[in-house]
Amino acid sequence: MTTPNIEYNLKFENLPAGKLRYQDHCFEWMRSQFQNWANQVAKSFDYIVKFQPIGMEDPEVDSPTQMAVFRR
């Protein structure tokens, strides 16, 4: 599963604070929110989850997109 990393949004100079990148996005999660959610789902359904960045990584806000890979 992938979702935008909302923490990365500050790197987009023309994106107003608090706005989502695209109007069709229902949500964009902080890294901690995404990892907490994915870890809870993995535990509930007996999966292992690993996280991977997608895109250029920034030392402070990581990558623009985050991915969770679920495995049994």
Report pLDDT digits (tens) over 5-63: 989 988 888 877 777 786 777 778 999 999 999 999 999 999 999 999 999 999 999 99
Whole-structure pTM value: 0.85
Tokens at 35, concatenated: 């990892």
Instruction: Show Cβ contacts of residue 40 under 8 Å, excluding neighbours closer than 6 positions.
Output: none
* 17 contacts: CB under 8 Å, gap ≥ 6: 10
Residue 54 C-alpha from the chain's centroid: 9
Q: Residue 16: what pLDDT?
A: 77
Look at residue 24 in the predicted model and tell me its pLDDT: 74
